[in-house]
Amino acid sequence: MPDKSSAVVLSPDVTEIQPLERRVDTVLRVEPSDGDDFLLAIETQGGRDPRKATSWSYYVTYLQEKFHLPVLLLVTCKDGATAKWATGPFTCEVRGWTTQCTHPLVLSPANVPLITDQRTAARNLALATFSAITHSRNPKATAILKALVGALQTTDTETAQYFGGLLEIGLGDTPARQTWRKLMGFTNFFPGRGTLLEETYLEGEAKGEAAGEAKAILRFLEARGVSVPDDARERIAGCTDLDLLNRWLDRTPHAQSVDDLFAEGPEATMAQAES
């Protein structure tokens, strides 16, 4: 260090006081038969991103601290330039002394075979999935996806859903993803990633919540002795609008009849307040 240097004391607290959403595309715990378990963190990278130099290091360090296992970071790329950059290493160093180094294992069109045969894909679903991701910009991308669809149909549902969801995330915002969504009627549930199954899941979850609200309304009315005709019962039970159901539920303690429950406009609010 130069003779003239200054140092400023900073807080030693490394607690994150503001929650930040950080997601790895997928994390697997791998348990080889000979022991030496490790974590496999898989990320898909569509292009160079300077922020990954720190976020990937964070993922590895966080997972190692949380699970107390070594971590292998696997990055899939769709082109050679991105793959060359993604190999790193990404270092944290001061004047030639390296404190931390992240060196991902990178898959790209250069080192992943192009798999268009269904039987070959079925023998190694993981490799076939990585083939579809890394070659998603290849003119034969549709043939790869069709082979993988056929292969997934020969395996169990849980496995098929996992690889289907991983692939959809890996394809990113590409024409290949739209092709995949047309070919497949299901994918895995990866929260927050907008996959087809997640959309279906959330829709089903909303329907389930609506059914619970409707059931509560009917039981509450019955407990209060309010008569519920069949047509009104069907209307309540068949409603999927959670906001509307919540309004009806709020009115049940004061409703003298189902007409009070269904009333709309200022009159309904006033009547409820007077009750």
Pairing, β 71-77 against β 38-45: parallel
State pLDDT tens for residues 29-71: 888 888 889 999 999 888 899 888 899 999 999 999 989 999 9
What would the pLDDT profile of 137-169 be if each residue is shown by its tens digit?
A: 999 999 999 999 888 888 887 888 888 888 888
pLDDT of residue 103: 94
Is residue 233 within 8 Å of residue 218, measured between CB atoms? yes
The confidence score (pLDDT) of residue 173 equals 80
Span of 101-110, 154-163, 181-190 with lowest mean pLDDT = 181-190
Tokens of 28: 């697997």
Question: Residue 106 — φ and ψ, nearest 5°?
Answer: -115, 130
Least confident of 142-151, 189-198, 205-214: 189-198
CB atoms within 10 A of CB 208: 10
